[in-house]
Structure 1
Amino acid sequence: MEPLTREQIDDLRNFDTPTICNAIEQFKTRQNTEGFMRPGMMRRSQFAKPLVGYAATARVSGTYKASALANEALFNYYEHVRSMPDPSISVVQDIDIDQSYSFWGEVQASTHQSLGCVGAIVDGGVRDIPAAEKIGFDFFSTKVNVSHGYVHLVDYGKPAQILGLTINPGDLLHADMHGVTIIPPEIAPLVADKCRQMLNAESEFLAHIRAAIASGEKPTIEQLREWRKRLIEQRNA
């Protein structure tokens, strides 16, 4: 399928990732227990809007010195990033047991940004967090590290396994402080409008609830039943 336009990507950034997950559920393209990372991925940047883009994948290690072949593979990986639809997100899986060495810092963030990449989602550590944030590059990681050790590329362009989620090259990702999800390509152009529908349904329900709170009168169970019925009907419309 064709990648989304920049306008469509920007539209998806208007919604937090839980709302995106709620919208995806309405299309019934996958089980509600699938398609998102389990807990443990932390956003290190302080940006207001979510990170949205197409995955470029790699695996790294830092426990031993890289061979000349591994050093050259880095440039092939850069070509992999460069070939992705804009904007891209680098998804990096650190295969070391202790994940103590960081592939990511100011130099890699800047290099990736020049190739159309807007952020990194890392099973492992990052560093130079303020410097990356200053240039507008978004870091997500499971750890924060101080050194790069002997970090080098192991492979790239293959599925990455991170916190229970398999991410393939070209997957459309949506991520914020709550976590990371994959937007299925067949529904990607429709998700933003579904988000608006979901939020409109919730706003009507919450208006009833907040009015009850303001009045100091507890709603009856029948009222709650009716309001929730209306919420579900509007979500499913």
Structure 2
Amino acid sequence: MDNALFDVLKSVDTPTVCNAIEVAQGKRGFNDFTRGTMLASDPAGVMVGYARTARIRAVAPPTEAPEVIKARRMAYYRYMADGARPAVCVVQDLDVPNAIGAYWGEVNTNIHKAFGLAGTLTDGVMRDLGDVAEGYPVVAGSVGPSHGYVHVVDFDASVRIHGLDIRSGDLVHADRHGAVVVPTDVIPTLQSAIQTLMRSEQIVFDAVKGKQIGFAEFEVAWAAFEAART
């Protein structure tokens, strides 16, 4: 992903990316997006990058020896600190739908921001909403007060977040609406597709925003919109 595409992706929301992927593919039916409502630590926050994946648990204490858990935790942090950038931390909570352990709060958001990650996407729990690292958005499945017995189970494997399968290295775009995985084959044309989408939508906005129009005017604008997006 070149800098120009990264800048464009950072400037738009996830629904725009979702629509633009269909423009790039030339058809409806793109399906690699999260389902259901997710919560955002920063309503304006957008994260773009290659997935660094992991899985956690927190409802029950780990059964492995403490030194094993500690070693895995540090290996996890080393993994998150490494790899291609830009990158997004993607963590599945294996306790969902009964997740109680907030791995994402003041401490871990500051650590992962310091590693150069762009944000966290998780189906698990976040907390410390007033103290999350500035400029480090978290899109999560829920909010709660406790960290429970949170521990890393594994990392660098495929995860599933709100119905979306994500592999390590997938290009992810996420914000308060949820997340998408950008198909590899559309990356070369995605910037152009976003620009095409925005130009076509502007035809409708120019016709209706802040105005009162009749159906005949709308029909003309809509025809021009449909012609521009195909």
Q: TM-score, normalised by structure 1?
A: 0.86
| Counterpart amino acid of residue 191 in structure 2 | A
Q: Are residues 1:192 and 2:191 paired?
A: yes
Match of 2:11 in 1: 14
In structure 1, the gaps of 5 or more residues are none
What is the rounded CA distance, in whole Å, between the counterparts of 2:189 and 2:125 in structure 1? 34
Q: Are residues 1:50 and 2:46 paired?
A: yes
What is the rounded CA distance, in whole Å, between the counterparts of 1:116 and 1:86 in structure 2? 8
Once the two structures are overlaid, the 10-residue window that deviates more, 113-122 or 161-170, is 113-122
Q: Are residues 1:32 and 2:13 paired?
A: no
In structure 2, the gaps of 5 or more residues are none
What is the rounded CA distance, in whole Å, between the counterparts of 1:93 and 1:20 in structure 2? 23
What is the rounded CA distance, in whole Å, between the counterparts of 1:49 and 1:7 in structure 2? 19
* Structure-to-structure mapping, 1:48-127, within 5 angstroms: 48-66=44-62, 67=64, 68-97=67-96, 98-127=98-127
| Counterpart amino acid of residue 51 in structure 1 | M
Q: Are residues 1:218 and 2:214 paired?
A: yes
SS in 2 for 1:91: strand
What is the rounded CA distance, in whole Å, between the counterparts of 1:193 and 1:81 in structure 2? 31
Once the two structures are overlaid, the 10-residue window that deviates more, 121-130 or 20-29, is 20-29
Instruction: Report if aligned partners of 2:25, 2:186 keep a CA contact under 8 Å in 1.
Output: no
User: Relative to structure 1, is the Cα distance of residues 49 and 121 closer, same or farther in structure 2, using a 3 angstrom cutoff?
Assistant: closer
* Structure-to-structure mapping, 1:119-138, within 5 angstroms: 119-133=119-133, 135-138=134-137
Once the two structures are overlaid, the 10-residue window that deviates more, 227-236 or 174-183, is 227-236
| Counterpart amino acid of residue 56 in structure 1 | R
User: Relative to structure 1, is the Cα distance of residues 31 and 79 closer, same or farther in structure 2, using a 3 angstrom cutoff?
Assistant: farther
What is the rounded CA distance, in whole Å, between the counterparts of 2:114 and 2:15 in structure 1? 30
What is the rounded CA distance, in whole Å, between the counterparts of 1:154 and 1:30 in structure 2? 39
Q: How much is the aligned-residue C-alpha RMSD, in angstroms? A: 2.1
* Structure-to-structure mapping, 1:168-183, within 5 angstroms: 168-183=167-182
How many percent of aligned residue pairs carry the same amino acid? Answer: 30
SS in 1 for 2:61: coil
User: Relative to structure 1, is the Cα distance of residues 185 and 29 closer, same or farther in structure 2, using a 3 angstrom cutoff?
Assistant: farther
What is the rounded CA distance, in whole Å, between the counterparts of 1:194 and 1:79 in structure 2? 36
User: Relative to structure 1, is the Cα distance of residues 49 and 14 closer, same or farther in structure 2, using a 3 angstrom cutoff?
Assistant: farther
Instruction: Report if aligned partners of 1:129, 1:139 keep a CA contact under 8 Å in 2.
Output: no
User: Relative to structure 1, is the Cα distance of residues 130 and 10 closer, same or farther in structure 2, using a 3 angstrom cutoff?
Assistant: farther
Match of 1:163 in 2: 162
Q: TM-score, normalised by structure 2?
A: 0.88
